[in-house]
């Protein structure tokens, strides 16, 4: 529990859809379960539609509202700007906030292009010299089972890493009748499954292994190119009405990668894995052991210890709910488990702590830029058919 007499950290949130709601829950909850060095205050929520943002502020717990994000940055009762908008506005908002001396939390992927991400990382580095901090929102790093996976690799329990196998499987647009949304428009989202969910498995595999991707070979596919516009023209996505819209992003991305330590990577990010809802599956095979994770069973990490005698060797299910694991002691007794929203709360805990300690939070905008460079390499590789070897029929 954070004492109410801790110095305040006054937050301005921009955007109130799925991510805005998840971030609001985290800002509200973190001070009730963790003893934070600063006390977050939900000061202002910004959105374009006055009536909708006022209703959202009431639901999500924000004290005031603005209909222009510039006002959030101009207010002297805001210390931190939390960017939960589509990717086409991340750079403009985050850079303006940093230059105004506001700390920034920005949703992933950092930007819609490498050029934008470079400008954001440069602004963040400059701001850091003035004690202004920034973080990009790769929240799955903050699942205790992922922290354990990273620790096992760092402690050498897997030996030399040979294989990294990562999938992010969803199916929310597998039905061709699923309507258009901003996530399906390149000028708003930057890319489709690749940036939205592929970014997570790029960040996670690099975080767990401590290695970075040095090169990729890729394929992108758009299975459904026309979709019905949402019935209501005023939908949050900003598109709507009669007729159809054209999908201008990938529905699925598959790519091979090589890591700095020599490991081979196989990646798949798709919104067409019918039956899979939020299946982040990672398996890492090393010379001394292996591990496997599935977000749809997120409190468990499977671990194979290669030093076990053959008669008892096998993947064992570690239930990562003991208080020794990061964050867990603040929540429930062993075995009761955490959920999707806890990663966002842990993100707030680590960001607030870094700000109070005057240190740079991780993942930084530089980390977000590196992921953006991987996404860009995937898109360039997918567009280059010269490396594709046809099989004669
Ligand atoms: C995509 O549907 C999405 O909402 C991602 O944008 C989020 O980053 C992920 O946490 C859940 O799925």
Q: 109, 139, 169 — which closes off a domain?
A: 139
18 lines ligand 1 (CB under 6 A): yes
Same domain, 114 and 154: no
- Based on the fold, state whether residues 122 and 163 are members of the same structural domain: no
Residues 131 and 171 reside in one and the same domain: no
Whole-number Å distance, alpha carbon 167 to ligand 1 midpoint, is 14
- CATH at residue 102: 3.40.50.720
Q: Which residue has the tokens 């019905």?
A: 228
pLDDT score, position 232: 55
Mean predicted confidence (pLDDT) in 362-367? 98
Decide: 240 and 232 in contact? Cβ < 8 Å: yes
Q: Do the Cβ atoms of 145 and 300 come closer than 8 Å?
A: yes
* Same domain (yes/no): 145, 120: no
Numbers of helices and strands, H then E, in the chain: 11, 16
pLDDT in tens, 251-285: 999 999 999 999 999 999 999 999 999 999 999 99
Is the pLDDT at 172 greater than 90? The verdict is: yes
CB 11 within 8 A of CB 41: yes
Ligand 1 pocket residue status of 340, Cβ below 6 Å: no
Report yes or no on 220 lying in a domain.
yes
**Helical axes 199-209 vs 365-382, angle rounded to 10°:** 120
Whether the CB of 196 sits within 6 Å of ligand 1: yes
177 Cβ contact partners less than 8 Å away, ≥ 6 residues apart: 227, 228
Phi, psi for residue 119 in degrees, rounded to 5 = -65, -35
Give yes or no: residues 76 and 161 share one domain: no
Residue 393 lies in a domain: no
How far does residue 18's CA lie from ligand 1's centre (Å)? Answer: 9
Residue 363 forms part of a structural domain: no
Mean pLDDT (whole number) for 287-293: 98
Of 139, 163, 185, which residue sits at a domain end?
139
- Domain holding 58, by residue range, is 8-139
Closest ligand 1 atom, residue 340 Cα: 10
Report yes or no: 178 and 358 within 8 Å, Cβ to Cβ: no
Q: What are phi and psi of 213, to 5 degrees?
A: -75, 135
Cα–Cα distance measured from residue 202 to residue 367, given in angstroms and rounded to the nearest whole number? 11
Over 50: is that where the pLDDT of 71 sits?
Answer: yes
Compute the distance between CA of residue 162 and CA of residue 388 in angstroms, rounded to an integer.
25
C-alpha to C-alpha distance for 166 and 178, rounded to whole angstroms: 26
**Measured in angstroms, how far is the CA atom of residue 277 from the centroid of ligand 1?**
10
Q: 24 C-alpha vs ligand 1 centroid, how far in Å?
A: 16
Q: Whose CA is nearest to atom 9 of ligand 1?
A: 197
* 26 lies in the same domain as 106: yes
361 is a domain residue: no
Q: How far is Cα 25 from Cα 372, in angstroms, rounded to an integer? A: 27
Pocket test for ligand 1, best of 15, 17, 18, 192 (most atoms within 8 A of CB): 18
Shared-domain flag, residues 132 and 149:
no
196 Cα nearest atom in ligand 1: 6
Please state, for a pLDDT cut of 70, what percent of the chain lies above it. Answer: 97
User: Model confidence over 17-66: pLDDT tens digits?
Assistant: 999 999 999 999 999 999 999 999 999 999 999 999 999 999 999 999 99
Mutational pocket test of ligand 1: of 25, 169, 196, the residue with most ligand atoms within 8 Å of the beta carbon: 196
Q: Answer yes or no: are the C-beta atoms of 72 and 46 closer than 8 Å.
A: yes
Q: Is residue 263 part of a domain?
A: yes
Alpha helix (H) residue ranges in 129-185? 144-154
From the CA of 3, how far away is ligand 1's center (Å)?
33
Specify whether 159 is located in the same domain as 104. Answer: no
Token pair, residue 168, equals 């992010």
Q: Are residues 170 and 135 in the same domain?
A: no
- Which tens digits make up the pLDDT trace of 210-259? 999 999 999 999 999 999 999 754 444 455 568 999 999 999 999 999 99
Q: State in Å: Cα 170 to ligand 1 middle.
A: 9
Write down the mean pLDDT value for the chain.
96
Dist. CA 137–CA 45, nearest whole Å: 18
- Among residues 61, 40, 191, 48, which one has the least CA distance to residue 105? 40
Number of domains comprising the chain: 2
Task: Indicate the pLDDT class of residue 4, thresholds 50, 70 and 90.
Answer: confident
User: Which of the two residues, 236 and 393, has the higher pLDDT score?
Assistant: 393
Nearest-CA residue for atom 6 of ligand 1: 196
Determine, yes or no, domain membership for 360: no
The last residue of one of the domains, among 139, 174, 190, is: 139
| Domain CATH for 324 | 3.30.360.10
Q: Could you read off the pLDDT of 328-350 as tens digits, one per residue?
A: 999 999 999 999 999 999 999 99
φ, ψ for residue 355 (rounded to 5)? -60, -45
Q: Could you tell me if residue 215 is inside a domain?
A: yes
**Tokens 């992927």, residue?**
109
The alpha carbon of 4 and the centre of ligand 1 are apart by a number of angstroms equal to 33
Pair (108, 202) in one structural domain = no
The string of DSSP letters for 207-222 reads HHHS--EEEEEEEEE-
Q: Where are the alpha helices (DSSP H) in 76-158?
A: 90-99, 114-128, 144-154
| Domain shared by 202 and 324, yes or no | yes
* 106 lies in the same domain as 166: no
In this structure, what token pair is assigned to residue 363? 């993942």
Ligand 1 contact via 185 beta carbon (within 6 Å) = no
Task: Supply the angle between the helices 199-209 and 144-154 in degrees, to the nearest 10.
Answer: 40
What is the structure's pLDDT at 387? 83
Ligand 1: distance of its center to the CA of 196 in Å?
6
Asked, for residue 2, whether it belongs to a domain, the answer is: no
């Amino acid at each position: 529990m954070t004492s109410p007499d801790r110095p305040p950290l006054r937050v301005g949130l921009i955007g109130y859809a799925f991510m805005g709601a998840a971030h609001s829950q985290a800002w509200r909850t973190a001070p009730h379960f963790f003893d934070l060095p600063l006390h977050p205050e939900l000061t202002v929520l910004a959105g374009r539609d006055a009536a909708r943002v006022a209703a959202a502020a009431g639901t999500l717990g924000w004290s005031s509202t603005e209909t222009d994000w510039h006002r959030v940055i101009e207010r002297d009762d805001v210390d931190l700007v939390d960017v939960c908008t589509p990717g086409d506005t991340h750079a403009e908002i985050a850079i303006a906030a940093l230059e105004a001396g506001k700390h920034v939390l920005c949703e992933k992927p950092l930007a819609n292009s490498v050029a934008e991400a470079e400008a954001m990382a440069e602004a963040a580095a400059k701001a850091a010299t003035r004690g202004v901090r920034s973080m990009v929102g790769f929240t799955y790093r903050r699942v205790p089972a992922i922290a354990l996976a990273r620790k096992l690799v760092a402690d050498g329990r897997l030996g030399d890493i040979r294989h990294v196998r990562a999938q992010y499987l969803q199916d929310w647009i597998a039905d061709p009748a699923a309507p258009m949304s901003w996530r399906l428009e390149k000028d708003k989202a930057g890319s489709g499954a690749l940036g939205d969910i592929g970014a997570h498995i790029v960040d996670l595999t690099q975080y767990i292994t401590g290695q970075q991707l040095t090169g990729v070979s890729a394929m992108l596919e758009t299975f459904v190119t026309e979709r019905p516009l949402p019935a209501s023209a005023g939908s949050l996505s900003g598109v709507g009405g009669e007729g159809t819209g054209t999908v201008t992003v990938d529905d699925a991305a598959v790519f091979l990668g090589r890591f700095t330590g020599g490991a081979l990577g196989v990646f798949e990010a798709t919104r067409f894995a019918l039956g899979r809802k939020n299946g982040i599956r990672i398996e890492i095979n090393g010379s001394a052991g292996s591990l496997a994770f599935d977000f749809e069973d997120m409190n468990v990490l499977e671990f194979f210890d290669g030093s076990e005698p053959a008669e008892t060797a096998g993947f064992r299910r570690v239930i990562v709910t003991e208080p020794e694991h990061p964050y867990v002691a603040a929540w429930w007794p062993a075995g009761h488990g955490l959920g999707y929203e806890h990663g966002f709360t842990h993100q707030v805990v680590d960001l607030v702590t870094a700000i109070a300690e005057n240190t740079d939070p991780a993942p930084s905008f530089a980390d977000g830029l590196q992921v953006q460079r991987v996404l860009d390499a995937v898109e360039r590789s997918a567009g280059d058919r010269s490396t594709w070897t046809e099989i004669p029929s």
